Structure 1
């Protein structure tokens, strides 16, 4: 196995309390990932024995407005404090804050040149903060068509361009292949282009956002393309179990493991 396999604890074993989800993920040999940390207990997470590979790395803020950038940097520093307590090396960020149901807090119709320049400046500050604390920020692509309409810098081509523009090893790309399949497709070529800039890869099948094998993507082929491109980092299943029962989540994890064992 060339990848570190992780599971988003927010989306599986949904019948169980969150800490029990993390424990079950850990027992099955996967690392765990979390979203919003503000309502979670760091000591309790550590006590599960789980390895944490990623968490949301901000609470509020955006990339393009002066106040939003300052807010993002402030809550990013708070997030780093929590990440260090659970030994999580990677923190996730988006083109703007996401509200209820994943709708952007500051939706936009057109991303202007000035917004691009502002985003690069803000992400450069994020990278500097990450370097100071020896962590890595990853910026995740999203899809506009189904889940996150109006999010700026959402497509994989956008996040890759921003990571290249900042040019720091402390800012990488979180290539979410579920979102990319909906918004852009051509996953293998995308993997090949993005591989040198990747900090994480996330997967869920399309349609439905469930485990590999429930949709249209030929995941073992994509996994081999990742390996052939030289990527050996974290691949995380950020997907619902198609059967939401505990046993169904167990099967979803095993389907993911089989798809990404190369």
Structure 2
């Protein structure tokens, strides 16, 4: 069996006893692309020196989608993030419904955005997409769950992020479709990936409960992998999960879950 996807691993969550650059080297040596979060926390030159291929990073530092000042701040720090992404060769810059603190909680909680705030969010994302077009990069809007990890984040469900991405309708704004968060918030994952289809910029995974690697919880990730392959998805699948035990073994389980038998693969 082989994987039709590019497989990536979040360096923030595995090999956690090592410095970040050593984590990146370990992930790269095992044949995976690498995801990072807040670039301001890292020595970028040290990450470049690893020679690893990076998949995504957080594409802003502060700001939000709905407040006028917050929107301007989001654009300003997104612009700051682009040169860092270029230096690392990162193709996708990740966004959330609002800025998150160190615990993943919203800097400004907004659990029930109004109609006017939905419109403001779409307009902010139009500005982000225009920035992406001008700079030749893709921003991706991630869905989150609000019942376990990120209470109070607005525009959190996959149906919310999809609605905003489709409203903007730009190749420079796509979904970071996180199936861990979607399972907690919505479920019905195979129909969800089919519904999101062309809007997907990247897929992220972890099992539920526990947010560890595939095979540790309730999600049948081999079935999800077949559904993605059958619909023609050939992009990146990123493991954004903690290791339930040994990190290298967790990465092996991830690769196994997203290796798909030949008969399931449609022609490219």
Q: Which bin holds the TM-score, normalised by the shorter protein?
A: over 0.9
In structure 2, distance between residues paired with 1:106 and 1:92? 18
| RMSD, aligned CA | 0.6
User: Any residues of structure 2 matched to 1:200-211 within 5 Å, and which?
Assistant: 200-211=202-213
In structure 2, distance between residues paired with 1:255 and 1:110? 38
Pairing 1:34–2:36 present? yes
How far the C-alpha of 1:39 sits from its partner, in A, is 2.2
1:160-202 deviation digits (Å, cap 9, x = unpaired) = 0000000000000010000000000000000100011000000
Q: Out of 113, 116, 119, which is 1:114 matched to?
A: 116
Pairing 1:218–2:220 present? yes
In structure 1, the residue matched to 2:266 is none
1:195-235 deviation digits (Å, cap 9, x = unpaired) = 11000000000000000000001110000001111111010
In structure 1, distance between residues paired with 2:206 and 2:97? 20
Contact 2:99 2:106 in 1 (8 A): yes
In structure 2, distance between residues paired with 1:11 and 1:124? 32
Pairing 1:159–2:161 present? yes
How far the C-alpha of 1:47 sits from its partner, in A, is 1.2
How far the C-alpha of 1:9 sits from its partner, in A, is 0.2
How far the C-alpha of 1:109 sits from its partner, in A, is 3.2
Give aligned pairs, total.
258
Q: Structure 1 stretch 194-203 or stretch 37-46: which is displaced more?
A: 37-46
1:222-253 deviation digits (Å, cap 9, x = unpaired) = 0000111111101000000001xxxx000000
In structure 1, distance between residues paired with 2:76 and 2:190? 37
Q: Structure 1 stretch 130-139 or stretch 35-44: which is displaced more?
A: 35-44
In structure 2, distance between residues paired with 1:100 and 1:16? 20
2:12 alignment partner, SS class: coil
In structure 2, distance between residues paired with 1:195 and 1:174? 12
2:41 alignment partner, SS class: coil
1:109-167 deviation digits (Å, cap 9, x = unpaired) = 31110011000000000011111111100000000110001100000000000000000
In structure 2, distance between residues paired with 1:109 and 1:37? 27
2:237 alignment partner, SS class: strand
How far the C-alpha of 1:42 sits from its partner, in A, is 2.0
The unaligned stretches of length 5 or more in structure 2 are 261-268
How far the C-alpha of 1:10 sits from its partner, in A, is 0.1
In structure 2, the residue matched to 1:20 is 22
TM (norm. structure 1) is 0.97
Runs of 4+ in 1 over 6 A off after TM superposition: none
In structure 1, distance between residues paired with 2:20 and 2:44? 12
Pairing 1:75–2:77 present? yes
The unaligned stretches of length 5 or more in structure 1 are none
TM (norm. structure 2) is 0.95
User: Any residues of structure 2 matched to 1:60-71 within 5 Å, and which?
Assistant: 60-71=62-73
